[in-house]
Amino acid sequence: MFRNPVLPGFHPDPSVCRVGEDYYLVTSSFEWFPGVPIFHSTDLVNWRQLGHVLDRPGQLDLDGVRPSAGIFAPTIRHHDGVFYMITTLMEEAGNFLVTATDPAGPWSDPVWFPETRGFDPSLFFDDDGRAWMCGTREKDGKRYDGDTEIWLRELDLATLKLVGEEHVIWEPVQRMGIWAEGPHIYLVDGRYYLLASEGGTAEDHAVMVARADQITGPYLPNPRNPILTHRHLGLRYPITSTGHPDLVQTQDGEWWSVLLATRPYGGSAHGPATMAAVRAESGYNLGRETFLTSVRWEDGWPVYDMVGFEMPGPALPAVPWPADPSCDHFDAAALGPVWNHLRTPREPYWSLSEQGLTLALRPESPTEWANPSLVARRQQHQDFVAYTVLRFDPAGAEQAGLALIQNDQFQIRLFRSVRGLELVRRAGGEDTVVATAGVAGERVFLGVQATGQDYAFRYAVEPGEWRELGEPLDGRILSSTTAGGFIGAMIALYATSNGTPSGNTATFGWFDYRGL
């Protein structure tokens, strides 16, 4: 048995490939840098992060990218000793791919496809040695937002350029259906199968499949579509938004699928009856997560098992990886792969030493579409606790501390300023100071504990002498149902001089995160 999600927290749009007995998986990263986290497994259940595919500023320009833009829906494939990752940099740059012979990197600089538009590109390597690229775009002369089609064109592997005629091979199955997206093509028993999702990436998400005798079509839909959806189960079902899958066959012949789904929590199962009320009383703070389910074949079509929390696992030897320490003392040569920057860092504003993580104060703030002095990791549990110790002597408008961030408009910040400690709730772009405390000396301990949607903040001047700061805050502002967008909440350590130059620094001695 295994437990879903296999990658908890903000890990949407998973794509997977197998090389021998090893499996590699990538997910979207949007405005966060490095881009495209990459994971390794030998059993499809236990994953360890190798790093990121796009880990150099020259590979990924996120300057000024709006929240929930940036990197959309990567696809990873392996062919003839080479790994390929193809994705989209929204909203203007377009589709590109990078390659590597080692999935841990280094990966190449991007190869761009300026003649394409749209998003969610994928690659297919045929048995005859030819390669193909497909993707999603809104139609010319679209009748409504999300009126999409899936296109296909051959890729010359020698030049990494698209060649030949373009073929439009698919549009939504459902009448007036939206966002036929996340396309992947597979060759199974001599037939080509096109897997795609539609209905949008929220509660109406649904997976469709079609097949053809030739790669270019015509593709005929499965009469039993959708082959996977939870939209008919209602908003109170504990797993929603199932979709954007990718298939993989094990070395033993089993078929499995990774996919995204969400876990709404925080509301009552017997609360208000309207959809708006149900959404309002719960949230998706963890974002869209990576789930796993089994697939079998009947009458020449894939059949998905319902996605549950506890499911029978693959017939592969279970290989759990050693657990990482809950506390990061920042004493390694580089930040661990769990840490992320908000947009592309253009200068090294952070350093690691025996004293911990030191951030240089810069004018940029987490409330801007900028690259502030900030490092963050994903919230991966509904119930968690996080602690840190800060050494900081502020001046003027400077502040440094702990933040929970959904985007620039919705966040909670616990920070030190010249006024002492301040707890600020930011909703709709407006800051509200909800609690303050006076502290003496440079050192202060900061903490947050989430129990469902209640986020309680505390501090200490001396080790172990914790004090609550204000009342627990309603954490639903950290949910995409409130804040919009596609990501999950991030827990950040940050420092800012708020628009003025500064030579000051803030040092975080350690950071401890534990699921409860």
- HEC readout, 22-39: EEEEECCCECEECEEEEE
Q: What is the pLDDT of residue 91?
A: 80
Residue 276 pLDDT level (bands cut at 50, 70, 90): low
Q: What is the pLDDT of residue 176?
A: 86
Cα–Cα nearest to 12, from 55, 59, 79, 72: 72
Cα–Cα nearest to 454, from 283, 288, 327: 283
Tokens of 391: 């050494």
Q: Are the C-beta atoms of residues 229 and 206 closer than 8 Å to each other? A: yes
Tokens of 90: 């929204």
Q: Are the C-beta atoms of residues 112 and 95 closer than 8 Å to each other? A: yes
Q: Give dist(CA 291, CA 340) in Å, integer.
A: 22
Q: What is the pLDDT of residue 174?
A: 81
β-pair partners for 83: 78, 100
Average pLDDT over residues 67-76: 97
Q: Give dist(CA 328, CA 324) in Å, integer.
A: 9
Q: What is the pLDDT of residue 262?
A: 96
Q: What is the pLDDT of residue 280?
A: 62
SS3 278: helix
Q: What is the pLDDT of residue 114?
A: 95
Residue 513 Cα to chain centre, angstroms: 19
- Mean confidence (pLDDT) of the chain: 95
Q: Are the C-beta atoms of residues 307 and 4 closer than 8 Å to each other? A: yes
Q: Give dist(CA 55, CA 335) in Å, integer.
A: 12
Number of H helices, E strands in the chain: 2, 40
- Give backbone dihedrals phi and psi of 125, rounded to 5 degrees, phi first: -110, 115
> How wide is the angle at C-alpha 309 spanned by C-alphas 308 and 315, nearest 5°?
80
- Which tens digit of pLDDT belongs to each residue from 108-147? 999 999 999 999 999 999 999 999 999 999 999 999 999 9
Q: Which helix (H) or strand (E) holds 276?
A: helix 275-281
Tokens of 422: 């301040």
- Which tens digit of pLDDT belongs to each residue from 13-52? 999 999 999 999 999 999 999 999 999 999 999 999 999 9
- What amino acid positions are annotated as catalytic residues? 13, 181
In the chain, % of residues over pLDDT 90: 93
β-pair partners for 52: 37
Cα–Cα nearest to 377, from 494, 457, 463: 494
Q: What is the pLDDT of residue 277?
A: 62
Q: Give dist(CA 143, CA 175) in Å, integer.
A: 12
Q: Give dist(CA 4, CA 11) in Å, integer.
A: 13
Cα–Cα nearest to 326, from 317, 336, 334, 318: 336
Q: What is the pLDDT of residue 193?
A: 98
SS3 475: helix
Q: What is the pLDDT of residue 97?
A: 98
End-to-end, the C-alpha distance of the chain in Å comes to 21
pLDDT at 98 over 80: yes
Average pLDDT over residues 423-445: 96
pLDDT at 64 over 60: yes
Q: Are the C-beta atoms of residues 403 and 424 closer than 8 Å to each other? A: no
Tokens of 153: 């064109």
pTM: 0.96
| Residue that has been written with the tokens 């059993």 in this structure | 43
Average pLDDT over residues 466-478: 96
β-pair partners for 314: none
SS3 159: coil
Distance set, CA 513 to CA 62, 325, 439 (Å)? 27, 9, 24
Q: Give dist(CA 192, CA 202) in Å, integer.
A: 28
Q: What is the pLDDT of residue 271?
A: 44
Q: What is the pLDDT of residue 270?
A: 39
- Which tens digit of pLDDT belongs to each residue from 376-410? 999 999 999 999 999 999 999 999 999 999 999 99
pLDDT at 474 over 70: yes
Which residues lie closer than 8 Å to 347 by C-beta, 6 or more apart?
Answer: none
Q: What is the pLDDT of residue 273?
A: 47
Question: Per the omega criterion (within 30 degrees of 0), is the bond before 110 cis?
Answer: no
SS3 275: helix
Domains of the chain, start order? 10-227 (2.115.10.20), 327-515 (2.60.120.200)
β-pair partners for 386: 448, 513
DSSP label of 396? T
| Residue that has been written with the tokens 């240089």 in this structure | 360
Beta strand residue intervals within 361-429, DSSP E: 373-378, 384-391, 399-405, 411-417, 420-427
